[in-house]
Chains A and B, each alone.
Chain A
Amino acid sequence: MNPSASSDSGSLWEVFVRSRRGLSHVHVGSLHAADAALALRNARDVYTRRGEGVSIWVVPSRSILASSPDEKDAFFDPAVDKVYRHPTFYELPEEVQQM
């Protein structure tokens, strides 16, 4: 059995679902599972029961390194006033559906 299972109901997993081809996987939530195979099946049952997806990723939550609220100013404030970084200075053809 999975030696990393940390409790009776297993460890925490983050779930990413791709709603259709061409789009990115989007984080939809998290769940508990004893191992990766069961996490994938639980994700199917919990997050795609209304036809939400064509592909699922599950990632152990402990593998995710998150930015800290303490670092918020240094991380994000410098980007706020740099309007020239936005790709808004040209016309987008109507045929482009996803940007």
Chain B
Amino acid sequence: MSERNVDPMAAALFTYSLRLGDDALILAQRLSEWASRAPEIEEDIALTNIALDLLGQARALLDYAGSVEAAGRGEDDLAYLRTERDFRNVHLVEQENGDFAHTIARQLFFSTYQLFLYEELISSRDEMLAGVAAKGVKEAAYHHDHALQWSVRLGDGTEESRQRMQAAVDRLWPFTAELFDTDEVEAALVSQGIAIDPSTLRPRWDRSIGDVFATATLTTPPTIWTSHGGRRGVHTECFGFLLAEMQYLHRLHPGVSW
């Protein structure tokens, strides 16, 4: 946010909208990489449908962030012209697709979080955030169901599918803690009834994921280390490559439209 704008509440709202919007945008970008590459055509369409749902959420949130910032930046400027350190998404959503099990594990972890977040955010005193949540909660509910169905089938499936699903859960587990990080941005907005303190979603998330693991005969990994920094703009190695692909066209042809 530009320094001439000194309203701390507007600055917090800008950052909060970016965090939610960037989570949706970057996961949409990852999921869209499955187009034409999914295990079967039905799943190809399912994953890209989910990507488009998330992209719609991202557009609304980034457009709102731009209007809160009031510096003339629109959704395209924020999506295509920021550099790596200015993105505020969690590390989980930028992790590479891996095999189908990795994508499903990432979907399970994120959609469970986003579903619970949107369910709470519906009652935000910020009308725009409440509106995004009200529309997004139905989408998130389907994304969650999709991930849950596949998690159970892969986990409680063949020996190979179970091994792959467990490997995916183990690989991505360290990235789940960051979903529940909270700092002064959320704190300022929570006190105004605008934002949700993500740490309050953790107990419900733990129970829900635990239930899925039990049904899918998967083992909850031990927490050896956790990854943090995305909310402050510090990202993992794979993120720069994602941005290069996502932003290439817009940077080559500034202002290009369909």
Taking Cβ atoms with an 8 Å cutoff, the residues of A that contact B are: 1, 8-9, 31-35, 37-38, 41-42, 44-46, 49
Contact = CB atoms under 8 A, between A and B. Distances in A.
Interface in B132-162: 142, 145-146, 149, 153, 156-158
Given A32-B42, A45-B46, 4 more contacts: A9-B40, A41-B46, A42-B46, A44-B142
Contacts of B40: 9, 32
A38 B153 CA distance: 10
Q: Which of A33, A41, A49 has the most chain B CB atoms closer than 10 A to its own CB?
A: A41
A37 B46 contact: no
Contacts of A33: 42
Q: Which of B39, B45, B145 has the most chain A CB atoms closer than 10 A to its own CB?
A: B45
A49 B49 contact: yes
Nearest to B47: A45
B156 A49 contact: no
A35 B150 CA distance: 11
Nearest to A45: B46
25 contacts: A1-B153, A1-B156, A1-B157, A1-B158, A8-B39, A9-B40, A31-B42, A33-B42, A34-B153, A35-B153, A37-B149, A38-B149, A41-B145, A41-B146, A41-B149, A42-B42, A42-B43, A45-B42, A45-B45, A45-B46, A46-B41, A46-B42, A46-B45, A49-B45, A49-B49
